[in-house]
Each structure stands twice: as structure tokens, then as C-alpha cells.
Amino acid sequence: MYVYRTKVGDFSIVPQGGRWHTLFQEEILGSYDSPQQAAFDLSVGHTFPPPGDVETSRLGIPKDLSGWEAG
């Protein structure tokens, strides 16, 4: 599991059913083959829109998992 904290809330990348899912406020924003792919897509805004029409590409989310907290 990976977490990145932003001013609008925490984004997570979690393993489920053999895939990696991006989550925000317990909503799944996308499903990926790897956590790195999930981090990249969140950073550039290529996911389903989070609640509240948050634009993930404007939050400074790192493209690389090294900028995320591993848990």
C-alpha cells in the first residue's frame, strides 16, 4: 500500500484482487497492473475524477513511488 497526503485529502494505491487500485475517500479511481502505473496516472490526471471534481494533476502528486509513503 502507498499513501500520498495532499491539501484535499489522502490518495492511496492498494492491492486488491491481483491489481493495484487508486483510492480517494474510499472511492476507486482506477485499476492498474502496477503501483507505479497508478502513481503516474494520478499525477497527470488520468483517472476517474475524485469526489468534488478535484484535479489530481494540480496537486503535486509524485509520478514516482519514491515520493509516496509505503505502508
Please write the tens of the pLDDT for every residue from 1-58: 999 999 999 999 999 999 999 999 999 999 999 999 999 999 999 999 888 878 999 9
pLDDT at 19: 98
Domain range for 34: 2-52
In sequence order, the 6+-apart residues with CB closer than 8 A to the CB of 9 are: 24, 25
pLDDT at 56: 93
Is residue 9 situated within a structural domain? Answer: yes
Q: How many domains does the chain have?
A: 1
Is the separation of the CB atoms in 25 and 36 below 8 Å?
no
Amino acid at 27: E
Is residue 29 situated within a structural domain? Answer: yes
Is residue 40 situated within a structural domain? Answer: yes
What pTM, to 2 d.p., does this model score? 0.92
pLDDT at 70 over 90: yes
